[in-house]
Amino acid sequence: MDEKKRRIRQVFVVVGGIGLLFAVGCGSSMKMTAQTSGEKIFQADKAFSDAKDGNASKNAPDDLAVAQRKLAAAKDAFAKENYDEAARLAEQTVVDADYALARAKTRKNMDIAEGIKKETNALRQEIERTTK
C-alpha cells in the first residue's frame, strides 16, 4: 500500500512540474517585446492613415477620432516601455480605424445611392410629364 501512495505522489509531482513549466513558458512567450509592439504600432499607424485617406475624416470623424486617441495612447505607452499596453492599444486602433473606414465608405455609398434615387425620380417625373 505504501508503494501505491508513493507512486501516486510521484505522478502528482510530475504532473504538477509539467503544469508549472507550461505556465511559465506560456507567460513569458506572451510578453510583448519592443520590436513586436513597434510592429503593431506601425500597423495601427498604417490603418489610421488608410482610414484618413479613405475620407473617414469627412464621413466618419467621430470614429476616426477614437482611433486617433488610441493610436496616441499606444505611442505614449510604447515611449514609457509599457509594450503590452502599447500592443493592445495598437490592435484596438487597427479595429477602430478599419471601422471608421467602413463607416466612411458606407456613408459615401449611401450618398451615391441617394443621388441615383433622386435622378431616377426626376427622370420618372419627366417621362410622366412628356407622356401626358
- pLDDT for the residue numbered 10: 66
Q: Structural domain tally of the chain?
A: 2
Q: Give the global pTM.
A: 0.68
The three three-digit cell numbers of residue 103, written as one number:
463607416
Radius of gyration of the chain (CA): 28
Does residue 80 sit in the same domain as residue 118?
Answer: yes
- pLDDT for the residue numbered 29: 45
Does residue 105 sit in the same domain as residue 118?
Answer: yes
Does residue 79 sit in the same domain as residue 50?
Answer: yes
Does residue 17 sit in the same domain as residue 81?
Answer: no
Average pLDDT per consecutive 10 residues, the chain (132 residues; last block may be shorter)? 66 60 52 89 96 92 95 96 96 96 92 93 90 78
Does residue 90 sit in the same domain as residue 74?
Answer: yes
Domain with 78, as residue range(s), is: 32-131
Does residue 19 sit in the same domain as residue 48?
Answer: no
Does residue 41 sit in the same domain as residue 58?
Answer: yes
- pLDDT for the residue numbered 117: 94
Does residue 5 sit in the same domain as residue 60?
Answer: no
Yes or no: say if 59 and 107 are a contact pair by the CB < 8 Å rule: yes
